[in-house]
Structure 1
Amino acid sequence: MGTFDFMLPYYGDVRLMQDAVRSVLAQTDPDFRLVVIDDGKEPEVPGWFAELGDDRVHYRRNEQNLGITKNFQKCVELSEADHVVIMGCDDLLHPHYLETVRAILKENPGAGMVQPGVEVIDGEGKVTSGLADNTKRLLYAPQVKGRRLMAGEELAVSVLRGNWLYFPSITWRGEALRSVNFRDDYSVIQDLALVVDLLELGEQMVIDNSTTVFRYRRHAVSESSVQAFSGTRFTEAERYFSAVADRMDARGWSKAAKAARFHSASRFHALTMLPGALKRGQRDGARVLARHAFTSGERG
């Protein structure tokens, strides 16, 4: 078994996926395995992988479409390494991603998660900084200079106030990831749920802002945005925050429970989506967004 797996759940744009694969193969540290789980039907894709001729690359095509959550779960199940990345099929690694993360893990051998330095790019690959990412960085992300180890209720409070993490960039301790996996009942908020589950098990996270090693692609319209206009993602969010708040209370993490019930970033996001839903004539979605934005589950 190798020490590092890049797992790539794929569906969508062929060119962007190929760029993502090339960014993995360009790593300065060549000791890794790349596993691509193809949930699509694009005819040219299997042949392209066969022509790569790199025995570090393992390609599988699902017999039938599994959808986002099931394909993510399959990536976790098929991972084998000590450490795992589940990167987006349109994201890009800097060449020194793996080299940098290995150095962080050497300094923090017990860390269950590593959030490395990230820059955001648009659909054309240009560095961008919109409202969502500025809000993450300025209001919700911990102010870290260099590297910092976080865990427990402190980190739970932080991510439940506002999920400032860039999930596809995170390196996970493989054993911990495989012991938990993604929950079946979430399709949009599953990344936050996974992190909180691991924190409850005592896992720690290293946040590193010293070096940018990952390029996170944010498109103008994404699947999550489509669901946001209809209100779907916020119905799921309300269900998650209510359940996790009760769990935090039972654990004695009262500050985390309060953060979950107030979920300020999620409410602000719903507020920003409200004009778009009204413009698209999605009145039912607008009602869901308004309820989520202006009502919290906080108890006095």
Structure 2
Amino acid sequence: MSLARWRQRLSGWRSRSRGRLGSGSLSLSRQLLWWVLLPQLVLWLAGGVAAYRFAASYANEAIDASLSQASRALARQLKPIGSGLLIDFPKAAQDVLEADPADRLLYMVSQPPGQFILGNQALPPPPLAQGAALRIGQPYFYDGSMPLAGPGDAEQAVRVVALLLRLGGEQQPEAQTLLVQVARSSANREELARRILVDMLLPLSSLILLMTLIVWLGIRAGLAPLKRLRQQVEGRAPADLAPLQLASAPRELLSLAGAINTLLAEVQHSVERQKRFIGDAAHQLRTPLAGLKSQTELALTLPSASDPELRARLLRVH
């Protein structure tokens, strides 16, 4: 193959490479960045869901503790008197419980099965499963809904604790079983869970952004030798077959550069062989052509070359 053919093939390969690179395909750095960021994004979303669940769990534990404490405090105000019941619950204490309209503690005291005694009668009953029952002195927590105060059919979600009490004693005929329920709006629980979630996700998001920046800078630094290799290849003349120079490069890139240098060396060797062949062929053809030229000059001097047609043919051969 001639040198011109090698140059033509090299130019065609360069144009095809530039065409493929400019056809809308993602660069290697962007592909690496996507492969790194996508798992981080999935983990961030999964972490957000898990963080919200943990935050809701912690908020439930805090609210359940306050509800349990309030129900036991209310239960201590209930005292049996003979066959009756003394409720030492002054109006001032009720006003304290209901002072904050956004976070009121609602309560109800009843005597199973469903005899209302005191409090807010709209509190939802415990949604016990079939065969389950409340145990004396053990709080039972559940979620429910109750109508909002005012006109309309709007309801609010509440967190409720139910505490079953036995006043007097099991062996006494005047023993009474009472159900104390204390409820609190779930709005504050959800707000607390959101605040915990935001407090957890903001540092995590900042960490993800910082890690993304570090990864991007690392990818650019890691691909810098590949950029230098591309510049060496693109900036060459078609006849420049010198080996590529990459002193400090990763092992994989050194292997690629070594393969390209081997190919360039083979092309250089092939071009040199073609040049030697052309030089040898020219040298071998020069002597016969010189002899042929001498013979035509000698033939032109012969008397028989006076024929115009023969002389014209000899001149053409010469």
**TM-score class normalised by the smaller sequence:** under 0.3
TM-score, with normalisation over the residues of structure 2? 0.17
Task: Please tell me whether Structure 1 or Structure 2 has the larger radius of gyration of its CA atoms.
Answer: 2
Relative contact order higher in (CA < 8 Å, ≥ 6 apart) = 1
Larger fraction in helix: 2
